[in-house]
Chains A and B, each alone.
Chain A
Amino acid sequence: MARDAIRDKVSIVGVGCCQFGENWDQSPADMIVDAAYEAYADAGIEKPQEQIDAVFTGSIYSNKGPHECSDALKLWKPVTSVSNYCATGTDAFRCGVMSIACGLYDTVLVVGYDKPKDRGVAGPSVVMTQVRDLPQTPAGWFSICASRYFEKYGAGRDDLARIAIKNHHNGTLAPNSFLKREITLEDYKKARLISWPFGLYDCAAQTDGAAAVILTRSDLAKSFRRDPVVVKGVTVFAGPNPQKDPTMDFLAWKPSIEAGQVAYEMAGVGPEDIDVAQVHDCFSLTELLTYEDLGFCEKGAAKEHIQDGRFEIGGGLPVNTDGGLKSFGHPTGATGVRMIYENTLQLQGRAGERQTPDAEIALSHNIGGYPTACGIAILGRA
């Protein structure tokens, strides 16, 4: 197995991202069109019906499949719809990358989107239809590591608060984010509990959104724009349910560790090479564990790095520069593609106040399911 088989073969030449939020007056088609046409413009594509060879879409809430995208964009193309929990967007992107790397297509469109706000519930819904379904809300699935981790490593809610405050702040700097509001430690502590140790501000918002990427063969990339971004490595991981895994220690998420190792090998880089990262902060603790699971710091050391401000904009390794799921919300299929949008801007020096100086390598990461699925994409400056 050649881990470097696709390295540098495919490039991003256009990105688009619609306004994320409670998009009451927009259909999925509206958001798909907003994101895709922004990506077309970014890549200089004027005749998508001629210039796009295939489409890869990702959505969890849609029950319409590929047709929802082809109909919205009026494309008569091979369209593939991908579903892989919170790694859905990254997986759609991965399928697009592989389709070009194998030589089948020259240029493809990747669209991630979801519209959970049409469901009629404000927070995560508790829909149990089997008696053995997870007996709690999604916040509870992800908080299940807290009791053991806190006891072993001495971290606590104050460390989670710093992550929430950081991501709220970063969200104020991102034009397309939903929440543009700073919070204080006092706000954090006063908020109602959702699932211990998570209070309201530990949890990502629920929003609608769509994001799009144009991929092409690296040797064709400069014909679209002068500063393409190359795909160094991209992988997904799916494992058995960690809650019944007899080796699970509830101190780390195995999908992140497994996918991270593969992604680094594919890209030929290590965690020390990452200049900027967008990681899955569905809940604050997920971001904390990801610092360790992806090797940004030693196991158990996350709280010291958080306290030192290493992951803030201006720190040694800025994480979730656009405010993450915390500020953008989590329209599941869109999230991974939205992260690739932000990392592309970072690598092209187009991230404004959020810019990480001289960023050369950027990583994005999703983890979802129970959690069982992980997707990681490592991008680099061409």
Chain B
Amino acid sequence: MIGITSYGAYVPPTRLALATIGGLPTQEGGPEKAVAWNDEDAVTMAMTAAVNCLRGFDREQVDGVFFACTTYSFAEKQGAALLARGLDLPRRVRTNDFAGSLRAGTNALRAAVDAVSAGTARCVLVVASDCRMGAPGSGLELNFGDAAVAFLVGDGDAVATLDASFAVADELVDVWRTAGDPFVHAWEDRFVVQEGYTPRLVEGVTGLFEKTGSQARDFAKIAFFAPDARSHGSVARALKLDKQKVQEPLFGRLGNSGCSFVLVQLAHALETAKPGDRILAASYGDGAEALAFSVTEHIEKLEERRGVSWHLERRRGVKSYDRYLKARNLQRGEYESPRDQGLSATVHFRERDEEVSLVGHRCRSCGAVQFPQQRVCETCFGKDAFERYRLSDKVGKVLTYTFDFFFPTPDPPTVVAICDIDGARVHMQLVNIAPEAVTLDMPVEFEFRRIHQSGGRPNYYWKATPLTA
């Protein structure tokens, strides 16, 4: 049975209250949006969503990575290949980036099902992630949020199968971002909603209904993209959807997360889906695309996922709009990023195991695990007798720590720890924790993050985060 065999999500724990954007006092439970912090971007979020999706699955089986994203930091350089290395997947993996459209997410998921169905791939990891920015003070800024979601598509115990899909393509300059511009722009919103979004999305969904001879009532949940809560409601009305059937779009909690938005809703729906449920997911952007899924009995056997609900509960508020602007590099600082040439490409190439994959060594003579990879064993002094040893998916502990008030960050201090990971000692930053909560020997896990912008490029490394059960 070909279909989705696993899923996982990532939503940054940092939440910006919409009131904070307007300089108003925040209220408990008031509307907010998820925002990637200064060491996060679309690809770091994608990495964690992928890790969450792969939990309990054999990474050696993955032979494809499809990465959907409109906000990847490089115009030329593949995100899927970076994800594959970060996840320490087999090198013989097929990698594709899907970009340029808010439909990239559903495009990638559909392509993965096609590839597995055609027999050109066995197990494809699909990751959709976006970190879009509206200009400060714009309406877009209020509605955008950041999130990533990942699915494993394979032939086996699929928890949901793709029954049908329908797409229309259009040329419309309603919402766009030109190369090099950090901000998304839109034409007048009445035009966007009346001529663009509403009729196209309705066309995509009704087109699927017609193609499959189904109706709204055949679906347990209908999930669809919307630029904002109001237009989401108007599409639900135009399609005459029963309120219970409409998948909660999470405006006011996460926000519109671009090409991952409808897939985040799909993952959220799968968390509570029952065998036999049918779920419709429709995306919008340069046309529309609707996918119809059937949930299978395997959904009940899938181990609990770090999905959307799991992430909704992990949140910390941003203290001020100013902090947000700093974190998103929207304020000029006293010290501009150095215009150096950045990471030496040759050093980075040699050390990609450590830097990208957090892979160290285990000594074949004495078994000691060490990081970074060594020529001579720290413990038994044996030479060149090592095997690769992945640390990124292990649980470590804090051996010792300190709080650095000098390291550049929007919210000092930076918590820094030496972590013991199966005996290897790794000096790294500790995130998602207040300094007063750090304790000796506390267990930690690891997330892929930005470490700095040397050379004007995002440079990535792993950081520790408190272990969450």
Contacts and interface: CB of A to CB of B under 8 A. Distances in A.
Q: Do A and B bind each other?
A: yes
Interface of A: 123-124, 126-132, 134-137, 139-140, 143-148, 151, 192-197, 240, 243-246, 248, 250
Interface string B385-421: 0000000000000011111111110000110101000
A193 B425 contact: no
23 contacts: A129-B342, A130-B355, A132-B372, A135-B428, A136-B406, A139-B406, A140-B416, A144-B416, A147-B401, A147-B402, A192-B405, A193-B413, A194-B404, A195-B403, A196-B413, A243-B425, A243-B427, A244-B371, A246-B379, A246-B424, A246-B425, A248-B425, A250-B400
Given A131-B460, A131-B461, A240-B378, A246 B368 contact: yes
A135 B463 CA distance: 10
Nearest to A248: B425
Nearest to B455: A129
B100 interface: no
A245 to B, nearest CB: 7
B406 A131 contact: no
A144 B418 CA distance: 8
Contacts of B371: 244
Nearest to A198: B402
Nearest to A192: B405
B413 A134 contact: no
Contacts of A148: 399-400, 440
Given A244-B425, A250-B418, A143 B347 contact: no
A139 B404 contact: yes
Interface string B104-133: 000000000000000000000000000000
B406 A195 contact: yes
Contacts of A197: 402
Interface of A is mostly: loop
A32 B244 CA distance: 82
Interface string B324-339: 0000000000000010
B50 to A, nearest CB: 20
B52 to A, nearest CB: 23
Interface string B431-469: 000010000100000000001101000011100000000
A209 B401 CA distance: 33
B400 A137 contact: no
Given A129-B454, A193-B413, A137 B404 contact: yes
Contacts of B173: none
Given A128-B451, A129-B343, A145-B400, A135 B379 contact: no
Contacts of B355: 130-132
B303 interface: no
Contacts of B354: 132
A135 B435 CA distance: 16
B340 interface: yes
Nearest to A121: B335
Interface of B: 338, 340, 342-344, 347-348, 351, 354-355, 368, 370-372, 378-379, 399-408, 413-414, 416, 418, 423-429, 435, 440, 451-452, 454, 459-461
Contacts of A139: 404, 406
Contacts of B418: 144, 243, 250
B90 to A, nearest CB: 24
Given A131-B451, A132-B355, A246 B404 contact: no
A179 B404 CA distance: 24
Nearest to B423: A246
Contacts of B403: 193, 195-196
A128 B406 contact: no
Contact of A195 (B340, B402, B408, B461): B402
B405 A245 contact: no
B405 A194 contact: yes
Contacts of A151: 440
A245 B420 CA distance: 11
A80 to B, nearest CB: 29
Contacts of A124: 406
Which of B371, B408, B418, B435 counts the most A-chain CB atoms under 10 A from its CB?
Answer: B418
A250 B399 contact: yes
B406 A123 contact: yes
Contacts of A131: 343, 348, 355, 451-452, 459-461
A135 B401 CA distance: 12
Contacts of A134: 427
Contacts of A137: 404, 406-407
Contact of B440 (A145, A147, A192, A244): A147
Given A130-B347, A147-B401, A135 B413 contact: no
Given A193-B405, A194-B406, 7 more contacts: A129-B344, A130-B343, A131-B459, A131-B461, A195-B405, A243-B418, A244-B371
Given A144-B418, A243-B418, A248-B425, A196 B402 contact: yes
Contacts of A123: 406
B449 to A, nearest CB: 10
Contacts of B451: 128, 131, 135
7 A-B pairs closest in CB distance: A196-B403, A131-B461, A136-B404, A143-B402, A137-B406, A140-B404, A250-B400
A146 B418 CA distance: 12
Nearest to B370: A244
Contact of A136 (B344, B399, B416, B459): B416
Contacts of A192: 405
A196 B344 CA distance: 32
B433 to A, nearest CB: 14
B438 to A, nearest CB: 8
A129 B453 CA distance: 9
Given A244-B426, A246-B425, A140 B343 contact: no
A292 B290 CA distance: 70
B405 A244 contact: no
A195 B401 CA distance: 10
A135 B407 CA distance: 8
Contact of B452 (A128, A194, A195, A240): A128
A137 B413 CA distance: 12
A136 B402 contact: yes
A135 B427 contact: yes
Contact of A146 (B351, B402, B461): B402
Contacts of A129: 340, 342-344, 454
